[in-house]
A and B are shown apart, each in its own frame.
Chain A
Amino acid sequence: MSSANESARSAAIRTGFAALSEPCKTLGAAHDKGAMSSASKVVTPEPAAPVVVTQPVAAVAVEPARPKKGVSPQAVLRSVWNNVGIPFVAIALFLFMWSRLSAGIETSLGRIPGPVAVWGQAQALWADHLAEREKRAAFYERQDVRNAARAAEDPTAQITERRYTGKPTYVDQIFTSLKTVFAGFLIATLFAVPVGILCGLSKTVNTALNPFIQLFKPVSPLAWLPIVTLLVSALYTSENPMFEKSFVNSAITVTLCSLWPTVINTSLGVGSIDRDLMNVARVLNLGVFTRLFKLVLPASLPLIFTGMRLSLGVGWMVLIASEMLAQNPGLGKFIWDEFQNGSSSSLARIMVAVLTIGFVGFLLDRAMYGLQSLFAFGARR
C-alpha cells in the first residue's frame, strides 16, 4: 500500500476511534463540549475497551480525558456561560450588526431587510400557509359536492379524488425538499455502503473503482442535472407515474453528488479493520455473512455513519442548487421564484429561506450525529 493510502488509513482509524469514544468523552468532560453536544447522554462508564480498535493511544491524542475534580459553583457558572451565554451574546451581536448594516444598503428592491422585516415575512409566510390550508379545505368540499352530483347523475361514472391544485405553501416547500433529499440520500446509501464494503474488502475492486470515484466525486450537481433530466424523461415514461419527474430528477441528482463521502468512508472503515481480527475470523472459519455482520459491519459502522453524515450534508446543499436550476418544487424554487418576483418583500422572504435552509441543515446534521453516536455506542457492546 502506498504511503498516502497508509496515512489516510491511519487518519480514518483515528476518526473512527474518536467517533467510537464520543460517549466516553461526554462522561468525563461534559462541560467541555458545546451546548449542542449530546451531553445528556451520561451513562455509566464502560470499562471494557472497544473490541475492534486496539489503539487506545489514538483516543488520547484526539482529546485527553481530564481528571474529574468534583463540581464547584464556579465551574457550573462557567459552564452555563460557555454553553448558553456566549452563543446568546454572539447572536445578539449578529442581529445588532445586521440591522445596523442592512439599513445602509439600498438595492433596487429597496433597503436590505433587517431582522424585524425578515421576522415579519416569516410570520406572513406562516399566515399564508394557514390561509392556503383553508382554501384547500374549501377545494375538497367543492370537489365532494361535484363528485356527489356526478355520482347521482351517473352511478357508473368513474370518480377519482383529485389532489388540491393550489400553490404549495412555504411549509409544503420545506417538506418537499426534505422528502427529496431523503429519497436521494436513501438511494445513495443503499448503493454506497455495499460498494464501500466491497472496496474495503477487496483490493482489486478498490483499484478498479478508484478512478471512477476520483473522477466523479468533484462533479457539481449543476453538471449532472441536464444529463439526469434527459435520461429521466427518456427512461421514466410511465403513464401514471408514482413520482413526479421533477422529484425523480432532483432525487437522482442528490444521489449522484452525495454518494461519494459514504463510499469513501465505508471503504476506509472496512479497510482499516485490524488484520489480526480478520485472520482470527479466517482461522475460526466464519462464513461470509457471519464475518460481514459480526465483524466487518460493526467495526466499520462509525466510519460508515461519518460518511453518511457528510453525504446528507452534501445532499442538502446540492438539492437547493438543483431545485433552483431545474425548477423542481422545493426551497430552491421558492428562492428563485421570489427573486423573479422582485416585489418589495422578496428580499426578506429569500432571507427567511436562507435561514430555514441553514436551520434544517443543522437539524439534519444533529439527527445524523445522534444516530451515529447511538450506533457507535451500540457497536461497542
Chain B
Amino acid sequence: MSRSAISRRRALVGTLLFALSSMTGVADTQAAGLELEKEQLKLGFIKLTDMAPLAIAYEKGYFEDEGLYVTLEPQANWKIILDRIITGELDGAHMLAGQPLGATIGFGTKADVVSAFSMDLNGNATTVSNEVWGLMRGAVALDARGKAVHPIRAEALKPALEKFRADGKPFRMAMVFPVSTHNYELRYWLAAGGIHPGFYSPSDVTGQIRGDVLISVTPPPQMPATLEAGTINGYSVGEPWNQQAIAKGVGVPVITDYEIWKNNPEKVFGVTKAWARKNPNTHLAVLKALIRAGIWLDANNGANRKEAAQILSRSEYVGADYRVIANSMTGTFEYTKGDKRPVPDFNVFFRYYANYPFYSDAVWYLTQMRRWGQIPEGKPDQWYQDVAKSVYLPEVYLQAAKLLVAEGKAKKEDFPWNTDGYRAPSKEFIDGIEYDGKKPNDYIAKLTIGLKGNQRVEGGDVVGK
C-alpha cells in the first residue's frame, strides 16, 4: 500500500471515529485517529479450536495491520485466564461467555470483566466413556442403516445411571468451569431428559446438591486423559477434545451443543472494564482484527477451514493432530468411530451475526446461573438486563465494524446495525421450550427441573416459592 493511501485511510478513520465517538460517547477516542494507547499486548487462550480467531488474526497479520504487537499465550485453565486478566498479566483473553458475567455478579472471583466480541457459536459436545456408551446403546434409537439417530436425548443415559446406582458407584461427569457454557449445556441436556444435574448453594459451591450425576471441573485438554483414567464417566467440552476421545478410542461423543441449543453463543473475547476504559482505541483495534479473522474463517463456505486446521494443529496453538482438529473444523463431526456426519454449523465464527454480543445471550446464561443456584435468590427481570448491559458492549463492537466497513474490509450487510441487542424469541432448544431474553423469569418458570421464582437451596433442600 502506498504511503498516500495509508494517510488517506488514516484520515478517513480519524474523521469517522471522531464522528462516532461524539455520537455515541462510548469510547473516549482522541480526535487524532486510532492512536493506540498500548501497542504491545499479551492475549491468553485455552487450547481449543474456538480460539481460532486469535490465531488467524495473528497469522494473517490482522493484528499487525492495526499496529498491534500481540503475543498469544496458552493458559492452563479458565481460572488462570480469569486471574491473569484481573491482575493485568494478560491484556485480554479467549473466555467462556459465563466468565465475564460470573465475575461481574461475583460468583467465584469478583471483578468487572466486559466483552464486546463473541468469538463463535456452538463448537462443544458431550462425550461419554466406552463403558457408558455400551450401557446407553440399547436406549438409543437407530435408523434403517443401524446408525444412531441424533440428537440423542439424555433419557438414553438412564440405563447407565441405574447400573451405576445398582453397583453403588457415583456417576461422574466433567465440565470445564463452574460458569462455563459447557456446564449449562450439559445441565440443560440432562435436565431436558429428566436427569437432575445438581444445585449450587451459597454454602456448597460444588454444584452437586441432589444431583443424579456428580458434575465437577476438569481443564479441557485433560478431559480425554481423565476419562481414560476412569476418574470421570463423561464430559462436556469444546473441540478438539471430543474428537480426540474418538481418535484415542477412549469415549464416544453423544451430543453436540448445536443440537442442545441451535447456534448458541460460546466463547467471548474478554477484558477488564478498567482496561477497556483506559485503552478504548486499542480495544477497537483488537476487535477489528478479530472481526477480520472471523470473516476469513467463514469465507466461501469454509474454504479456509483446512488451512485454519493446519494452523491450529501447531504446537503453539491447539497442538492436537491435524486430522483430529480438521474433523470438526471442516464442518463434520465424528460420533462413533467411522460415523462421520456433516455438521456444517458445528463451529460458526462469523455468520449469523456470531460476533455481535447480544444482551439476550448474556441473559440466557444468567437464567441458567439462577436455575442451578449460582444466583442464590430470585431477581427481577430488570436486574438481568442491567447485568447484561454492564458486561456486553455491542456498541463498541459496532464501532469496530463501522471502521472496517469504511475501510472496505467488511460488508455492511454482515452486521446487525439496528438490533436492540435481543434476538427474537426462539424455540430451537432440544426440549423446544421458547426463550425470550426480555422475560427471563417467565423462561425460568417454564423449565421443569431447577430453581424458580424465589426458591433457595438450604442445606440440601429447596425452600421458598
Contacts and interface: CB of A to CB of B under 8 A. Distances in A.
Contact of B321 (A146, A233, A244, A344): A344
9 contacts: A149-B3, A153-B7, A162-B39, A246-B89, A338-B315, A340-B47, A340-B221, A341-B47, A341-B319
B318 interface: yes
Contacts of A341: 47, 221, 315, 318-320
A274 interface: no
A342 B224 contact: yes
Nearest to B221: A340
Interface string B73-100: 0111000100000011100000000000
Main secondary structure on A side of the interface with B: helix
Interface of B is mostly: mixed
A58 B201 CA distance: 68
Contacts of A339: 221
Contact of B248 (A109, A160, A349): A109
Contacts of B7: 153
Interface in A151-182: 152-153, 160, 162-163, 165-167
Contacts of A146: 64, 67
Give the one of B7, B64, B88, B319 with max A CB within 10 A.
B319
Given A162-B40, A163-B40, A343 B321 contact: yes
Contacts of B22: none
A2 interface: no
B225 interface: yes
A81 interface: no
Interface of B: 3, 6-7, 10, 39-40, 47, 58, 64, 67, 69-72, 74-76, 80, 87-89, 219, 221-222, 224-225, 228, 244, 248-250, 313, 315-316, 318-321
A5 B6 CA distance: 77
A9 interface: no
Contacts of A337: 47, 74, 315, 319
Interface in A328-367: 336-344, 346, 349
Nearest to A233: B87
Given A108-B248, A152-B3, A337-B315, A165 B71 contact: yes
Interface of A: 108-109, 142-143, 146, 149, 152-153, 160, 162-163, 165-167, 233, 244-246, 327, 336-344, 346, 349
B322 to A, nearest CB: 9
A343 B40 contact: no
A312 to B, nearest CB: 27
A327 B76 contact: yes
Given A108-B248, A163-B40, A340 B319 contact: yes
A246 B74 CA distance: 14
Given A143-B69, A162-B40, A163-B69, 13 more contacts: A108-B250, A153-B7, A153-B10, A163-B40, A165-B40, A165-B70, A165-B71, A167-B316, A233-B88, A233-B89, A340-B76, A341-B221, A343-B320
Across chains A and B, which 3 residue pairs bring their CB atoms closest together, nearest first? A341-B319, A340-B221, A167-B316
B76 A108 contact: no
Contacts of A246: 89
B320 A342 contact: yes
Contacts of B225: 108, 342
A153 B1 CA distance: 14
> By CB atoms of chain A within 10 A, which of B7, B47, B315 has the most?
B315
A162 B248 contact: no
B321 A108 contact: no
Contacts of B313: 343
A342 B40 CA distance: 30
A336 B76 contact: yes
Contacts of B320: 341-343
B186 to A, nearest CB: 21
Contacts of B89: 233, 244-246
A246 B320 CA distance: 26
A340 B71 contact: no
Contact of B315 (A109, A149, A327, A343): A343
B74 A149 contact: no
